[in-house]
């Protein structure tokens, strides 16, 4: 056999061996429908900033309507409030916000015998200690979501975490700007 014939046979043998070695038979293509698409639309929400040291609402755009995104927006907008509004959160940074069950034995929320809502735990870092108006901003903004029954706030410090208690907006009603109705 010529050298050319040997090469041709070798190529044919390798091609057959490669196809046989895979062990997977080709299949047809199945159409699974359109590709998933992520919507980039944000949600409109209300947060509480300060006007003359009193809680005043401001409408903002957030990533979603989730309470965690609402609190994130509070800290972000607080850095550049505008509209004659200020914040007691200047210099503070949101580290984390976590939603957990709140209520009797943390059971099923829809059971009238066992009323359960959600608690938002907000962890903040910054200089000094969070003041009353800063606590009010966080608490009343979170309580705008009816599923949030209480807000637990922790501030991290160089000496470790400092628990600042569990709050509802009711305790801050005296901090409301004129004609502003705060959530419970």
**Which string of DSSP letters, residue by residue, matches 111-142?**
-TTS-EEEEEEEEEE-SS---HHHHHHHHHHH
| Residues 31-47: tens digit of each pLDDT | 666 666 665 567 889 99
pLDDT at position 40: 59
CA separation, residue 105 to residues 113, 120, 162 (Å): 11, 17, 26
pLDDT at position 101: 86
Angle between helices 132-143 and 67-78 (to 10 degrees): 140
- Phi, psi dihedrals of residue 113, rounded to the nearest 5°: -80, -15
pLDDT at position 108: 45
Q: What's the chain's average pLDDT?
A: 82
Joined together, the tokens standing for residue 88 give 């007691």
pLDDT at position 155: 97
Among 6-10, 138-142, 172-176, which is the least confidently predicted range? 6-10
pLDDT at position 107: 47
Per-residue confidence band for 124, with pLDDT thresholds at 50, 70 and 90: very high
* Confidence check: pLDDT of 147 > 80: yes
pLDDT at position 84: 83
Place of tokens 């070695």: 21
* Confidence check: pLDDT of 77 > 90: no
* Residue with more model confidence, 12 or 91: 91
CA separation, residue 172 to residues 139, 176, 177, 184 (Å): 9, 7, 11, 9
Domain ranges of the chain: 43-175
């Amino acid at each position: 056999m010529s050298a050319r014939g040997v090469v041709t046979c070798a190529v044919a043998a390798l091609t057959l061996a490669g196809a046989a070695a895979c062990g997977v038979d080709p299949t047809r293509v199945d159409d699974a429908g359109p590709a998933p698409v992520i919507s980039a639309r944000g949600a409109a929400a209300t947060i509480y900033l300060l006007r003359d040291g009193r809680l005043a609402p401001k409408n903002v755009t957030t990533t979603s309507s989730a309470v965690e995104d609402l609190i994130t927006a509070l800290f972000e907008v607080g850095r550049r409030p505008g509209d004659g509004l200020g914040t007691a959160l200047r210099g503070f940074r949101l580290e984390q916000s976590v939603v957990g069950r709140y209520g009797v034995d943390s059971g099923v929320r829809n059971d009238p015998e066992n009323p359960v809502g959600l608690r938002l735990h907000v962890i903040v870092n910054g200089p000094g200690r969070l003041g009353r108006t800063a606590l009010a901003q966080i608490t009343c903004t979170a309580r705008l979501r009816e599923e949030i029954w209480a807000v637990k706030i922790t501030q991290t410090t160089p000496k470790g975490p400092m628990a600042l208690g569990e709050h509802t907006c009711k305790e801050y009603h005296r901090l409301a700007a004129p004609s502003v109705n705060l959530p419970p």
